[in-house]
Structure 1
Amino acid sequence: MKYFKNLLDFYIESSLHVALAVYALLRITFLKLNIPYNENVAYFGFFGTIVGYNFVKYDDLARVKKVKLNTMFKAIIALSFVSFLGALYSFLQLKTKTKFIGFVALGLTILYTLPFFPKKSNLRNWSGVKIYLVAIVWVAVTVFLPVLNGNYSFDSLVLLKSIQRFIFVFVLMLIFEIIDLQVDAKNLQTIPQQIGVKNTKVLAYFLLLLFLALDFLKENATQKHILATFLIATLISGFTWFANPKRNSYYTSFWVESVPIIWLLVLLLL
């Protein structure tokens, strides 16, 4: 049992789980917009997420706090290095205009972790910015990358899917902020800190209704896509309902982050 827990912890802490979530959202974009699947875009999203998230999570520990490297930390560094090579190779295969979005996502990740200027705070510590920044980066990677690389025009459908994806990530982040309410610094000014847990949940439910309604605005929307969106909105509503600051970290880091993967599986099964 301890071995399984250690394996699960490595899977989560190494960002493999969140990378699979990004990969799933990329596949969903290919499916919903009828764009031919491109493995370079998908692999860049997967490997780039591992590198980016591990940089965000462990840069301060390694660069500033000089934490002693244990076995798991060394394994995460090794995985991040291999993922960097995978992301770099995939990146070089992308079209020039797609690479630009990749650079923008990378730049935001770096600014999220490192300060603009010495002795100044990074974007992560700017009051109320984190949730919007994360949602924007996820939209850029999981919607704009496949659209640009697939030479798909930025029409009203892409705009709708971008808004829908932003809402999707934003609501998932609200659940994270509810769970982290007791550990987040007061200066972060997260939404639950500003309006309370109850009002944050009400906001999430309203956004989920909008998330579902956007599927009906698509011309010739298929029943399976609408059904899948309804099921996922219902699932997220359940996670929101049961969210509270006393939940353990697995509630968000594993279960909530599994929602994009479940969404893809539902679409494929339907």
Structure 2
Amino acid sequence: MRNFGDSTPASATTSFAGLKRCVDALLYSSAWLAAAAVGLTWATFLFWRVDVPFRLAMLIFTATLFLYNIDSVLPYKYSQQLVLSERKLWMINHRRELFLLALGSLAVAGLLFWLDGWEHLLGFLGHLAAISLLYSLPVARVKGKWRALRDFPLLKVFLIAYVWAAVTVWIPAFYLSKPLLSPVVLVLFGRRFLFILALAFVFDIRDYTKDRLTGTRTFPGVFGVKATKIFALTVLVVSSFLIPQGVLHHSLLVLTVPTLLAGAIIWFADETRPDYYFALLADGVMLVQFLAVYLVS
């Protein structure tokens, strides 16, 4: 007679392992991050009471997948295995799949770019792509060693915030023919830039030891982790005071939720936290911001 009691733990273990594999793939392939990019773009469209066009959402999703996955398979990242986290080990074991995903995403993004007639914005989008690619690729020779943009002291968090704010605010503005220098667009851009900047410090805290070992001078390495958290929280508070004209007062209560969550994530950030803390929570709070905007729209 079959003993069902004996099989239950094994079945549960198998189910958990399968779930973990799916979650790892979602997070470490940057699909979760790409969804966050779409969510923030959608949030900007919702400010003007418009849903994000599906093909534009796909363009942003696939372009984000390409940029982050091509960065994750760069050769230099596998020659500096100083801190092997679970995330890094997953990427090493799936390097071929990530490369193929990057190529497939590039093909889809390129096709959508051409079909939807974005050629007139080639210069604008090109400079964002250049920053994203040169973020990790050698761009200048300093003291006999080639350096990427991320290697310049204290620069990388500002680059990340700029590109994310430009994509998720300026592209919707371009699409809807809104002047980029209009007060409402400038406030939206500033609010998004500071929100992403505050979250970017969390990943500097995550990479604290690795950056010190590789000689990359980041805020935690120069000023300390506690000072970085205080600065990040200050930036987050300033972002919350940038309120675009037209936002109703009762909506601010809902929009405060992602700000409070982001503040908690920043305060409790530590390099010893598991990878899910950063990949799931720190990136996921951007989707919470989209949901907050969606609820009040």
TM over 0.5: yes
Q: Is residue 132 from structure 1 mapped to residue 154 from structure 2 by the alignment?
A: no
Indicate the residue corresponding to 1:214 in structure 2: 242
Q: Helix, strand or coil: the match of 1:143? A: helix
- Report the equivalent of 1:243: 269
CA contact (8 A) 2:161 2:197 kept: yes
User: Are the aligned partners of 1:10 and 1:72 in contact in 2 as well (CA < 8 Å)?
Assistant: no
Where in structure 2 are there 5+ consecutive unaligned residues? 1-15, 81-90
Does structure 1 conserve the Cα–Cα contact (< 8 Å) formed by 2:191 and 2:242?
yes
Return the offset for 1:75.
2.6
Q: Which amino acid is the alignment partner of residue 181 of structure 1?
A: Y
1:202 match? 230
CA gap of 1:97–1:139, structure 2 versus 1, over 3 A, is farther
Q: Percent identity?
A: 25
Q: Which moved more, 1:14-23 or 1:224-233?
A: 224-233
Indicate if the aligned counterparts of 1:147 and 1:153 stay in contact, CA closer than 8 A: yes
Q: Closer, same or farther in 2 for the Cα pair 1:223/1:183, shift >3 Å?
A: same
Match of 1:121 in 2: 147
Contact in 2 for aligned 1:239/1:256 (Cα 8 Å): yes
Residue in structure 2 matching 1:53, options 68, 87, 91: 68
Give me the whole-angstrom Cα distance separating, in 2, the residues matched to 1:96 and 1:223: 40
Residue 26 (structure 2) pairs with residue 11 (structure 1): yes
| Correspondence for 1:172 | 199
Is the Cα contact below 8 Å between 1:171 and 1:208 reproduced in 2? yes
- Structure 1's 177 and 81: CA in aligned 2 closer, same or farther, altered over 3 A? same
CA distance in 2, matches of 1:3, 1:86: 29
Give the corresponding residue for 1:77: 99
What SS class does the counterpart of residue 242 from structure 2 fall into? helix
The one-letter code matched in structure 2 to 1:204 is A
Give yes or no for the alignment of 1:149 onto 2:175: yes
Q: Which moved more, 1:201-210 or 1:169-178?
A: 201-210
Counterpart of 2:113 in structure 1 is: 91
CA drift at 1:198: 1.7
2:132 alignment counterpart: 109
- Corresponding residue to 1:161 among 176, 188, 192: 188
User: Normalising to structure 2: TM-score of the pair?
Assistant: 0.81
Q: Distance in 2 between matches of 1:111 and 1:128?
A: 16
> Structure 2 counterpart of 1:24, which letter?
G
When normalised by structure 1's length, the TM-score is 0.89
Q: Kindly state the Cα deviation for residue 81 of structure 1 after the two structures are TM-superposed.
A: 2.4
TM-aligned CA deviation for residue 24 of structure 1: 0.5
Larger Rg: 2
Shift of 1:28: 0.7
**In 2, Cα distance between equivalents of 1:204 and 1:64:** 31
Give me the CA root mean square deviation. 2.4
1:33 aligns with 2:55: no
Q: How far apart in 1 are the matches of 2:168 and 2:128?
A: 11
Q: Secondary structure of 2:167's match?
A: helix
Residue type at the aligned position of 1:231 = V
- Spell out structure 1 runs of 4+ moving beyond 3 A: 33-36, 61-65, 94-99
Whether the aligned pair in 2 keeps the contact of 1:21 and 1:260 (CA below 8 Å) is yes
Distance 1:62 1:173 in 2: 20
